[in-house]
Structure 1
Amino acid sequence: MAQPDLPLLIDRASATPLAVQVADGLRAAATAGRLRGGDRLPSSRALATQLGVSRTVVTAAYDQLHAEGWLSGRHGSGTYLTASPAAAPRDPAAVSAEQPRTDLLDLVPGTPCVAAIDRAAWRRAWRASGDRIPLAHKHRAGEPEYCEAVAEHLLRHRGLGGEAVVLATNGTGSAVGELAAALLRPGDAVAVEEPGYLRAVGALRAAGIRVLPVPLDTDGLCVDLIPPHVRAVYCTPAHQFPLGARMPATRRVALVDFARRTGALVIEDDYDGELRYDTAPLPLLATLAPDVVIHLGTTSKILSTTLGVGWLVANPEIANAVVAHRERVGTHPAPAGQRVLVELARHGDLARHLRRLRREMPPRRALLVNELRAHDLHVSGDDAGSHVTVPLPTAAHENRAITTAHSHGVLLDGLARHHSGPPREFGIPLGYATLSPTDLATAARIAARCIAEA
């Protein structure tokens, strides 16, 4: 098929002949990739009409490009571009940063167990969401049905109810960035866990916020070490990322007391709080103190990153400030993933999926932990979530374990890179959600041996 509207501009005031301008424009289009090898060009008559020039001008341009080898004519078929330059070579490091290594067994934490998704229910939800009428107006707060579904989900599975407002988000990092822009000012200080979730740290820093790292112990964030002048505290109390600690009730009460005493807000990231197995969940911080706690959640850990949606639960004043910020900058959460989650919840598939996950994950965890302990390795991390951590004494031990495992086909993560300041904790966090049980068994054996040797 001929290209109907070629991206050519003609400057009649230029001293350059029109035929040369046409030839130059076609070369530029081919070089930039707007035309590709094998594309059929318009006839000389059609292109002359499009550009408002004589057919003689276009014929002269085509003749020149024929002579240069850019064009070829096929009898009875038309004129074709013979070839276009190859795309500029990409930096291999940039490619590897964008694309996960598919040739390695991946034990990096933070990915969901997509194998547990009922594919029939998944397809049904997408079809049903696609049958709905396309939107004509934006919902800055999120689709009303989505917000209702999330509120019901949080009430049933996390015990969060009350008068708080549910907003849709595009994920945790996006939500943290919105909160910083809507509630804080550049230069304000926010306390974060160290080590912790660096994408949240990145979102805060991108908004001009000063990030103050606060150490952890076996109970999570050390509340008594939080500087008193911070405007907010970001934490993952249900299952600290990446160390895996669970913040006990006394520490949660202390954090709420700190927030009320100093006027700070608490941003509670409940990224995989639904994934508890043999232990009962502790009350959410948002349940204890809805006046000072902002609750964040995501579908990326319990379902799939395909949906790209999460939620923010806060008191009406904070929720209104976030919606007002979205109105100012013209952003809104993407509705497609919201609609799919609504359909999953409507038919009970979301609840069934969570029950399936809670059956699927404990054997995976046991397989990994048993292999690590068989090599006399200490394993930390509460019986929840989808990762455990093996502490190591130094950065050299950590790097050696990662490098050796990589040479044996296993991708590992390290604690050092999860610090926003100088690294102080070292070790290997290991995720067990992504791989099949067979691949997980293989990867666990290799990882345990490599860590033990390191």
Structure 2
Amino acid sequence: MRTLVDLPVSLSRESSTPLSAQLTDWLRHAMLAGTLAPGERLPSSRGLAAQLVVSRTVVTEAYQQLYAEGWLEGRHGSGTFVAPSDTPRRETPRAAWHPDGTSPGAWRPDENADRRPATPGDLIDLTPGTPWVRDYDRAAWKRAWRSAGDLPLRGTSDPYGLPRLRELLADHLRRARAVPVGPENVLVTRGTGNGLDLCALALLGGGGRAGVEDPGYHVARTVFAARGARVVPCPVDEDGVIVDGLPEDLRVLYTTPAHQYPLGGRLPIPRRERLLAWARRTGATIVEDDYDGEFRYDVAPLPALYGLDPSRVVLLGTLSKTLGPDVGVGWLVGAPDLLARIAALRESVSDRTSGPVQQAVATLLERGDLDRHLRRMRLEYARRRAQIVETLGPVCRLRGDTAGLHVLAELPPDTVQGVVARARERGVLLDSAQRHHHSRERLHGLVIGYGSASLADVRRGCQILADLIAGPPAEG
């Protein structure tokens, strides 16, 4: 069977376009032109890397991009093949291609390719809040839903959640986050917003004062205000919420200590201990949002606030960053007496989490599919994070790059909106820190999410952003 070994692949190391993007476009064009026909086998990543004298990562990144677009398919134990011509495909060229004759020729970068006005389909989304949902184990997902479909519908809904899922989530939290809990400490929610609403119902009441980090998660402000609470902005610095000076009359303090949103700080142990001492002294309840705590890079995990003092902390978690927002399953961890109060309130307002969805998630946990997905995505996100650090680190200060799915790129205040606008013109969507402030903006920059964009798009988007931040070269 003919392989790519005989094809005249040529990559330019002088081009500003990364080698993996060049190879991706070369292969895509070869398949469009028919030089590589459906069903033909490609070399192994190791073999092609040796032929081209590049790192294996260059080839694997190109193959992964073409897998995602539908150009390639894998056959168990056989290798990588050109997909059949009727396979749905999404062509996303990374730069202009200049063929020589009837077959692909040498790469010639188009220096103006990234300066053309972008169409909606070309946009690279580097805004925060969305995970990668295009690379999951479809067989495991289908198996989980078949398992849920085999069970009869229930006439009533347990306000705590399915007992089987609560047991599995307790085990997951012990393993993944070192939080010592049993099923009696777990209530299944529909996600973070639902968990916040239940906390507001149980802990605040009309007129209660709720502290929210500033800058911080705007949904927390909205949910607490909608339940009649008086929202109090609580300043944060590069490490997280500032404990000294916290008001003494707060009933609730919402915080994101594992990876502060949006600045990215990790609350140090001494400050965690001072925060818990403040809660014990004032009688406040800390609502700890562990929204993306599963994703860490080059750092050891810090203990959850809940694990340090379960009597003063409610821990919220969600699968929205792990599997996707559409799953609609999260958890609320707290003392059994508080959970009993929340469960009773939940029944009174007919709030529930879908039973079939809970069954499906339980199957994913029980079979180890969720753990495998987490391990795979940790590696994938780590590569994207490394690309951001490599490209943007030399041109601006980055915060929060040790965990989660976003970083903060600090910029001078008078440049932020201009960079956002010019990036949009060149096809890159960005979010500014201004939107996340409740009061006066104190830290200025861009909140860059790398969950929803492919590695190739993260690389290209960050290079465009780096060029904009650096500005035009000096004349002379």
Task: Judge conservation of contact 1:116–1:353 (CA < 8 Å) in 2.
Answer: no
Aligned partner of 1:355 in structure 2 is 375
**The structure with more radius of gyration:** 1
Query: Which amino acid counterpart does residue 172 of structure 2 have in structure 1?
Result: H
Distance 2:353 2:343 in 1: 11
Distance 1:243 1:111 in 2: 17
Residue from 411, 424, 438 that aligns with 1:406: 424
Aligned partner of 2:405 in structure 1 is 386
Distance 1:300 1:447 in 2: 27
Task: Judge conservation of contact 1:172–1:200 (CA < 8 Å) in 2.
Answer: no
1:291-310 equivalent positions in 2, closer than 5 A: 291-310=311-330
Residues 170-229 of structure 1 deviation map (CA, whole Å, 9 limit, x = unaligned): 111121111111221211111111100001110001001111111111211001121111
Task: Judge conservation of contact 2:203–2:251 (CA < 8 Å) in 1.
Answer: no
Deviation at 1:103, TM superposition (A): 4.5
Deviates most, 110-119 or 352-361 = 110-119
State the secondary structure of the residue aligned to 1:306.
helix
Aligned partner of 1:233 in structure 2 is 253
Displacement over 3 Å in runs of 4+: 451-454
Q: Is 1:128 aligned to 2:147, yes or no?
A: yes
Residues 1:102 and 1:228: Cα distance change in structure 2 (over 3 Å): farther
State the aligned residue count: 352
Distance 1:348 1:218 in 2: 36
Aligned partner of 2:235 in structure 1 is 215
State the secondary structure of the residue aligned to 1:368.
helix
Task: Judge conservation of contact 2:170–2:181 (CA < 8 Å) in 1.
Answer: no
Residues 219-278 of structure 1 deviation map (CA, whole Å, 9 limit, x = unaligned): 110011211111111000000010000001011101100000110000000000011121
Distance 1:102 1:281 in 2: 38
Residue from 435, 441, 448 that aligns with 1:417: 435
Distance 1:387 1:180 in 2: 27
State the secondary structure of the residue aligned to 1:224.
coil
TM-score under structure 1 length normalisation = 0.75
State the secondary structure of the residue aligned to 1:223.
coil
Aligned partner of 2:453 in structure 1 is 435
Distance 2:290 2:147 in 1: 29
Aligned partner of 1:28 in structure 2 is none
Query: Which amino acid counterpart does residue 338 of structure 1 have in structure 2?
Result: Q
Task: Judge conservation of contact 1:398–1:414 (CA < 8 Å) in 2.
Answer: yes
Residue from 187, 190, 204 that aligns with 1:184: 204
Aligned partner of 2:173 in structure 1 is 154
Deviation at 1:428, TM superposition (A): 0.3
State the secondary structure of the residue aligned to 1:388.
strand
Query: Which amino acid counterpart does residue 160 of structure 2 have in structure 1?
Result: A
How large is the Cα RMSD of the aligned pairs? 1.5
Residue from 138, 143, 157 that aligns with 2:162: 143
State the secondary structure of the residue aligned to 1:379.
strand
Deviation at 1:295, TM superposition (A): 0.2
Query: Which amino acid counterpart does residue 396 of structure 2 have in structure 1?
Result: L
Aligned partner of 1:249 in structure 2 is 269
Residue from 202, 209, 213 that aligns with 2:222: 202
Deviation at 1:432, TM superposition (A): 1.1
Q: Is 1:372 aligned to 2:372, yes or no?
A: no
Distance 1:102 1:125 in 2: 32
State the secondary structure of the residue aligned to 2:438.
coil
TM-score under structure 2 length normalisation = 0.72
Deviation at 1:447, TM superposition (A): 2.1
Distance 2:354 2:469 in 1: 41
- Show structure 2 runs of 5+ residues with no match: 1-119
State the secondary structure of the residue aligned to 1:225.
coil
Query: Which amino acid counterpart does residue 393 of structure 2 have in structure 1?
Result: R
Query: Which amino acid counterpart does residue 126 of structure 1 have in structure 2?
Result: W
- Show structure 1 runs of 5+ residues with no match: 1-100
Query: Which amino acid counterpart does residue 397 of structure 1 have in structure 2?
Result: T
Deviation at 1:382, TM superposition (A): 4.0
